[in-house]
Amino acid sequence: MSEVLEGEIVKIIELEPIREGVIIIEGFPDVGLVGTIAASFLIEKLQMSDIGYIESDALPPLISVKNGKILDIVRMYGRNNIVVFLSEIPIPLPIIRPLSQKIIEWAISRKAKMIVSLTGMPEPGRLNIDVPKVYVLGSNEKISKDALKINGVEAFTDGYITGVKGMILRESIKRDFNALLVLSQAHFNYPDPGSAAEILKYLSKLLSIEIDVKPLLESAEELKLRLRDLMRRTSQAMQDVQKSRELELPAVYL
């Protein structure tokens, strides 16, 4: 039987019970679709099952059909101690704040260990970078210090974080919940599998799981073509967030 956690305009619906102490991975679309590509690859390689979805009147009236199976457009996948949130559309502006709040509320109610948000960091010179740098930012000093113990990453120290990533971090700080933002240098308006691969390498060490990114890199060109439409819609959504805050595009815009 499914379990529903209700909010004003958001519901998290569980299709099966969630164990305590899970690590949540959030990979909603944004810069370079880095989080989405990384989360999708993780779901496939770990053979995760569909364990829940997000329901809200603020989401467009769409469903997804894959191999004859009907799916919601914002879904949860899980296996063992990992739960992944994935969306096939950019998160609409009206739902960003309540969705972020609901995810953290749900995580706390399920006694989750932490949430890790995956994203790209716009880099104008990305074409000239062979191996994108990975940056981390924790919701508290301990999370940041622990994240930096893994070789090859740097601290994210200055910039702006908007959208779901920013609101999840903000809500985690308010609720004293462990959250980690993982960023890698990426194209702003183009799908960036190479950037996603670097984040996955970091996740492999963080979660102590084996993730071979070679298949992802080999299918990079195919992914770029397949994800063009989602990237276009995501770019527009990010512009909508920018306009809503009446800010010019900052040096670091997520």
Which is higher by pLDDT, 112 or 188? 112
Domain boundaries, the chain: 3-244
Return the structure tokens found at 89.
């559309």
What's residue 250's pLDDT? 47
Query: Stretch 47-56: mean pLDDT, rounded?
Result: 96
The predicted structure's pLDDT at residue 230: 87
What pLDDT is stored for residue 224 in this prediction?
Answer: 86
Q: What mean pLDDT do residues 43-70 have?
A: 92
Q: Nearest-CA neighbor of 107 among 49, 21, 204?
A: 21
Model pLDDT, residue 5: 47
| pTM metric for this prediction | 0.89
Domain at 3-244, CATH homologous superfamily = PAC-like subunit (3.40.50.10900)
- Give the H or E element holding residue 42: helix 34-45
Whether the per-residue pLDDT at 8 is higher than 70: the answer is no
pLDDT value at position 234?
Answer: 85
What pLDDT was estimated at residue 245? 53
Assigned token pair, 109: 């109610």
Whole-number pLDDT of residue 28: 97
Specify whether the CB–CB gap between 14 and 74 falls below 8 A.
Answer: no
pLDDT tens digits, one per residue of 190-220: 899 999 999 999 999 999 999 999 999 999 9
Length of the chain: 254
236 band by pLDDT with thresholds 50, 70 and 90: confident
pLDDT at 244: 54
**pLDDT value of residue 248:** 45
The yes-or-no verdict on residue 242 having pLDDT over 90 is no
Whole-number average pLDDT of the chain: 90
- Residue 237's pLDDT band (cuts 50, 70, 90): confident
CA-nearest of 78, 76, 27, 74 to 183 is: 27
What per-residue confidence (pLDDT) applies to 235?
82
Phi-psi region of 19 (alpha: psi -120 to 50; beta: other; left: phi over 0): beta
- Partnered with residue 144 across adjacent β-strands are none
Residue 232 is predicted with a pLDDT of 86
pLDDT at residue 1, as a whole number: 40
Q: What is the pLDDT of residue 253?
A: 43
pLDDT at 77: 98
- pLDDT given at position 156: 96
Span 137-181, pLDDT tens digits = 999 999 999 999 999 999 999 998 989 999 999 999 999 999 999
Question: What confidence tier does 247 reach under pLDDT thresholds 50, 70, 90?
Answer: very low
